[in-house]
């Protein structure tokens, strides 16, 4: 029997899901920092598998090879919400995974059930003891169906494209706003229509539209929700 964390008196398990650039990581980091919790960006793990596939020349259409790859590589997440990190076989790839090419690769590798199984097992292990904010696409539906709080963030596509475009420009990538929007819509379609753990809100998730919400207002709303669950 798996009891929710609050019954056991541990820190909560907080799941934040939603589509690309809905504000999950900004909100997740701020919330975890406020609560003194670990922050796990599960998307960074799929990005790291995507990067490994590109670097090793594994085809993004070869499910069997991608599953083998996901089982072979060591993906390690550093959960400090002030400075989250991720490494691939001991090499820090925190910055390397944030490019348009890896954006697309991560969405493709995450369709593969064998890749998901390997990542989900690690995510469950990392969040098992509670005191964690984990963001992704399937945290409330599959990774932690018993999470103490499930939030699903959404925002309209033009706003999400604007946010992601600004992030890419800050990092020196030169994709246009239109190309960024198309890429986001493409990933949304793939993430939502895949057979295994598609993107959708859990039945018991609190849905928040962040299109017109400031970071502070969103954090305030999340803290209210956390207090209501403790
Ligand atoms: O959150 P992100 O954009 O960094 O995620 C990268 C990709 O990984 C995204 O296209 C979908 C996939 N993903 C997933 O399938 N399941 C998760 N829990 C997190 C991300």
Q: Give the closest residue (by CA) to ligand 1 atom 11.
A: 107
pTM of the predicted protein model: 0.92
Residue 7 has pLDDT above 60, yes or no: no
Average the pLDDT over 133-149 and give the result: 97
The model's pLDDT over 157-167, given as tens digits with 9 standing for 90+, comes to 999 999 989 98
Residue 53 has pLDDT above 50, yes or no: yes
Q: Give the closest residue (by CA) to ligand 1 atom 4.
A: 43
Confirm whether 47 is domain-assigned: yes
Confirm whether 5 is domain-assigned: no
Confirm whether 6 is domain-assigned: no
Q: How confident is the model at residue 1 (pLDDT cuts 50, 70, 90)?
A: very low
Confirm whether 106 is domain-assigned: yes
CB of 110 sitting under 6 A from ligand 1: yes
CB 131 within 8 A of CB 37: yes
Max Cα–Cα distance, the chain, nearest Å: 50
Q: Which atom of ligand 1 lies nearest, measured to the CA of 106?
A: 7
Confirm whether 3 is domain-assigned: no
Q: How far is the CA of 9 from the centre of ligand 1 (A)?
A: 30
Q: Which atom of ligand 1 lies nearest, measured to the CA of 143?
A: 18
Residue 4 has pLDDT above 90, yes or no: no
Confirm whether 7 is domain-assigned: no
Residue 221 has pLDDT above 90, yes or no: yes
Q: Which atom of ligand 1 lies nearest, measured to the CA of 97?
A: 4
In 3D space, the residue among 69, 142, 166, 143 whose CA is nearest the CA of residue 108 turns out to be 69
Share of the chain above pLDDT 70, in %: 96
Count: domains in the chain: 1
Q: Quote the domain boundaries for residue 76.
A: 13-228
| Tokens of residue 100, six digits | 């348009």
Residue 139's domain is classified under what CATH number?
3.40.50.300
pLDDT of residue 173: 76
Residue 22 has pLDDT above 60, yes or no: yes
pLDDT of residue 9: 60
Q: How far is the CA of 179 from the centre of ligand 1 (A)?
A: 19
Least confident interval from 78-82, 165-169, 217-221: 165-169
Query: Which positions ≥6 away from 37 have C-beta within 8 Å?
Result: 11, 12, 14, 31, 81, 131, 132, 133
CB of 20 sitting under 6 A from ligand 1: yes
Confirm whether 59 is domain-assigned: yes
Q: Give the closest residue (by CA) to ligand 1 atom 2.
A: 43
Q: Where are the alpha helices (DSSP H) in the chain?
A: 5-8, 24-35, 42-56, 63-72, 100-109, 113-127, 157-170, 177-193, 215-229
Confirm whether 110 is domain-assigned: yes
Residue 8 has pLDDT above 70, yes or no: no
């Amino acid at each position: 029997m798996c009891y929710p964390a609050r019954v056991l008196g541990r820190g909560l398990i907080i799941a934040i899901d939603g589509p690309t650039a809905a504000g999950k990581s900004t909100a997740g980091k701020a919330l975890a920092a406020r609560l003194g919790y670990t922050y796990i960006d599960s998307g960074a793990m799929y990005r790291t598998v995507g990067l490994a596939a590109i670097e090793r020349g594994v085809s993004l259409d070869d499910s069997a090879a991608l599953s083998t790859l996901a089982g072979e590589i060591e993906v390690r997440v550093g959960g400090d919400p002030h400075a989250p990190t991720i490494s691939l076989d001991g090499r820090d790839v925190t910055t390397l995974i944030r490019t348009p090419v890896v954006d697309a690769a991560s969405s493709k590798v995450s369709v593969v059930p064998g890749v998901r199984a390997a990542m989900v097992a690690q995510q469950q292990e990392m969040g098992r003891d509670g005191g964690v904010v984990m963001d992704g696409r399937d945290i409330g539906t599959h990774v932690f169906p018993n999470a103490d709080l499930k939030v699903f963030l959404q925002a309209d596509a033009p706003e999400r494209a604007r946010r992601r475009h600004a992030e890419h420009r800050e990092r020196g990538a030169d994709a246009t706003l239109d190309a960024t929007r198309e890429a986001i819509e493409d990933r949304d379609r793939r993430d939502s229509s895949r057979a295994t753990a598609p993107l959708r809100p859990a039945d018991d998730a609190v849905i928040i539209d962040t299109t017109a919400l400031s970071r502070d207002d969103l954090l305030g709303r999340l803290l209210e929700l956390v207090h209501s669950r403790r």
